[in-house]
Homo-oligomer: A and B are copies of this chain.
Amino acid sequence: MKVAFQGEPGAYSEQAIFERWQTPETLPCETFDAVFEAVASGQAQAGLIPIENSLAGSIHQNYDLLLRYQLPIAGEHFLRVRHCLIGLPGASKDQLRRVRSHPQALGQCAAYLRSLNVKTEPVYDTAGSVKLLQTENDPSVAAIASRRAANLYGMEILEEGIEDNPENYTRFLEIRLTPPDIVVEDAKTSIVFTLKNSPGALFKALSVFALRDIDLTKIESRPLAGKPWEYLFYVDFLGATQTESARRALSHLEESALLLRVLGCYPRARLP
């Protein structure tokens, strides 16, 4: 099983792949576009892309790519982001003078790092900060990255779960060439639609779900630049597109939506 992801070996996306599949082969890609390309061309059997993080928000760019490539969502995966303090084998926390990582990871561990009384140094990539440790061989320097990055580069985890806010998780979507098999009772459907911006337009659009007791698990509006009166909406709901109520809801929604696209219907995952 070959799965494409964006980032360097040891990135959190790669860790998510290792949680999701037993013995995957991973394909690192430089950009999200390249992940979609790899799946579309058959170079990889699946791709795993982050779609939202509980602290950083949704990644609109990946919604754009889902619309552009029309590859169906085949599943979802929640990764609890647990940052690790990583040092040379045998290093101790007392010796540390400097800690390096991506600015976002440093920011998410700010209180912990203050308690260590170390200097922080931003680099562009969490996994890259671990690779640097290997080259430099200085026990007074540590990195912040995933457990997988520590293992990959033969470094030692000095402490795990050092993030200030434990409610830090990323939701990933699996993309494939073909839709997955689903159990209707445990399915989730993701759609995108646009509405003319008039007062109450969204309220009417949501009525198609409320009238049928369909439960929404996500809603997000996104203004369309250059089209100041149009909005794009992302909605996830519990249920499968082939049920009578979902079929009717979508056909009802089509009456008022300027554009309506089903991005996928896939087995639902639970928050960790």
On A, residues with C-beta under 8 Å from B are 31-33, 52-61, 64, 102-103, 107, 110, 122-125, 166-169, 197-200, 202-204, 206-207, 209-210, 213-226, 228, 270-272
Contacts and interface: CB of A to CB of B under 8 A. Distances in A.
B102 A271 contact: no
21 contacts: A31-B110, A32-B107, A53-B60, A54-B60, A57-B57, A57-B60, A57-B222, A58-B58, A102-B124, A122-B125, A124-B124, A168-B225, A199-B210, A199-B214, A200-B210, A202-B206, A203-B203, A203-B206, A204-B210, A218-B223, A225-B271
A218 B231 CA distance: 9
A104 B58 CA distance: 15
Contacts of A61: 55-56, 107
A220 to B, nearest CB: 5
Sort A-B residue pairs by CB-CB distance and give the 9 closest, nearest first. Answer: A203-B210, A167-B225, A57-B58, A57-B57, A122-B124, A200-B210, A124-B124, A199-B215, A199-B213
Nearest to A104: B61
